[in-house]
Amino acid sequence: MKAITYTNYGPPDVLQIEEVAKPSPKDNEVLIKTRATTVTSGDWRVRSLNVPVGFGFISRLIFGVFKPRQPILGTELAGEIESVGKNVKKFKAGDQVFAFSGAAMGCYAEYKCMPKNGAVSLKPANLSYGEAAAISFGGTTALDFFKRGKLQSGEKVLINGASGGVGTAAVQLAKHFGAEVTGVCSTTNLELVKSLGANHVIDYTKEDFTDNGMSYDIIVDTAGTAPFSRIKNSLKEGGRLLLVLGGLPDMLQIPWVLMTSNKKIIAGPANERAEDLQFLAKLAELGKFKPVIDRQYPFEQIAEAHSYVDTGRKKGNVVIKLKQNNET
Ligand SMILES: NC(=O)c1ccc[n+]([C@@H]2O[C@H](COP(=O)([O-])OP(=O)(O)OC[C@H]3O[C@@H](n4cnc5c(N)ncnc54)[C@H](OP(=O)(O)O)[C@@H]3O)[C@@H](O)[C@H]2O)c1
């Protein structure tokens, strides 16, 4: 089968297309024929090892000290089950599914095995393969941070970086949970963020949200420009800062902030739970959650897709489509 591989950390041109062995499912696994995958900010970070301040060494320990341990990137896919292991009853050949391999990666390939009890779910019928492939990364991150931040209906939530992969999911989920949502983004993305349901939008190129007298129960930072020192006066008493993007110095402050105020910083990697995928699939089916697709690229042009994602300016998600046998 064809896969996109890399053998060294670096710019997008470290990615190459090559023939690798097609996997076969173990007894508890399903084999998925990939129809679409994505390029996420996570793929960019693991490819380049451009990671938040203080995480360079630990990232090498996790992903490979001198070269990548897992040569195939990609955390999300959607496709069709081709075959199942002998202990698998809940899926069958022909099922249309989407899956999240998370930190194990390996989705930039024509076929991928996933454990039957892993993050695999039937594809919502109202979503395309491309849309379904893009449910997981932003959706599970936003959902996990809102769970850890104990978001309550009626709370005021500000999302800094509301137009990215995590931000577009966070706006929709916060609205679903009954929050009053303010999205912060650049001028070109104001309409997009409003269309996702944000009650208010702030253009960060024209207005500093920490300087307008408003305060919030929860501030989500996906852009890395809203550390506690900057936003502490914009958090209400009992408020929580959800640092989706934070460096080691931000995390070292967590105990001090907890001891000296009644505000809280929540940070660290998002948990990857199969049940969160099922929840997002259900919401998507009900029309209450829809991944935003910015651009789509063919599999063979994945390096170009990476170059675009590297800009840090994508709107929602970038999808990679795989050609099927009968397609030209
Ligand atoms: N903790 C975790 O487990 C976890 C999980 C997922 C992602 N992350 C991290 O979270 C970050 C965001 O991920 P993503 O997938 O959403 O990235 P993304 O899709 O590349 O989006 C980044 C967004 O940031 C916005 N932005 C840039 N500068 C900004 C500023 N000064 N103020 C407000 N918004 C700004 C951009 O919008 P404009 O073009 O409008 O500026 C863009 O839409 C990444 O660094 C990623 O590594 C962490």
Tens digits of per-residue pLDDT, 172-223? 999 999 999 999 999 999 999 999 999 999 999 999 999 999 999 999 999 9
> Which tokens belong to 242?
């959800």
Q: Angle at the Cα of 50 (from 228 to 118), degrees rounded to 5? A: 85
State in Å: Cα 295 to ligand 1 middle. 16
Residue with the two structure tokens 């997008």:
12
Number of other CB atoms surrounding residue 220 within 10 Å: 33
Residue 144 has pLDDT above 90, yes or no: yes
Ligand 1, atom 18, lies closest to the CA of: 164
- Residue 190: CB atoms within 10 Å: 18
Task: Report whether pLDDT(320) > 80.
Answer: yes
84's tokens: 């199942």
pTM above 0.95, yes or no: yes
pLDDT of residue 326: 60
Burial of 205 (0-12, 13-18, 19+ CB in 10 A): exposed
CB of residue 223 inside a 6 A radius of ligand 1: yes
Q: How is residue 212 annotated by DSSP?
A: S
Minimum CA distance residue for ligand 1 atom 43 = 164
204 pocket-lining for ligand 1 (C-beta < 6 Å): yes
Q: Is residue 314 in contact with ligand 1, taking CB distance under 6 Å?
A: yes
Average pLDDT, the chain: 97
On the question of pLDDT at 245 being above 70, the answer is: yes
pLDDT in tens, 247-295: 999 999 999 999 999 999 999 999 999 999 999 999 999 999 999 999 9
Query: Pocket of ligand 1, candidates 53, 158, 166, 190: which has the most ligand atoms within 8 Å of its Cβ, to mutate?
Result: 166
CA distance 167 to 40: 13
Whether the predicted pLDDT of 311 surpasses 90:
yes
- 3-state DSSP: the chain helix, strand, coil percent, rounded to 5? 35, 25, 40
Gap between the Cα atoms of 141 and 146, Å rounded = 9
Q: How much of the chain exceeds pLDDT 70, in percent?
A: 99
What's the rounded mean pLDDT across residues 11-25? 98
pLDDT at 156 over 80: yes
Mean pLDDT of the 301-312 span: 98
| Per-residue confidence band for 1, with pLDDT thresholds at 50, 70 and 90 | very high
Mean pLDDT of 295-314: 98
Q: Closest Cα partner for 38 from 79, 71, 84?
A: 79
Residue 327: pLDDT band (50, 70, 90) is low
CA-proximal residue: ligand 1, atom 25 (nearest): 161
In the predicted structure, residue 324 carries a pLDDT above the cut 90: no
Residue among 160, 205, 222 to mutate when testing ligand 1 (max atoms within 8 A of CB): 222
- Cβ pair 49, 55 in contact under 8 A: no
Q: What is the mean pLDDT of residues 19-40?
A: 98
pLDDT in tens, 38-66: 999 999 999 999 999 999 999 999 999 99
163 lines ligand 1 (CB under 6 A): yes
Distance, in Å, from the CA atom of 34 to the CA atom of 97, rounded to the nearest integer, reads 10
Q: Using a pLDDT cut of 90, give the percent of the chain over it.
A: 98
Query: Is the model's pLDDT at 74 over the cut of 90?
Result: yes
Query: In the chain, what's the furthest Cα-to-Cα distance?
Result: 63
Instruction: Give residue 168's pLDDT.
Output: 99
Q: Which atom of ligand 1 is nearest to the CA of 141?
A: 5
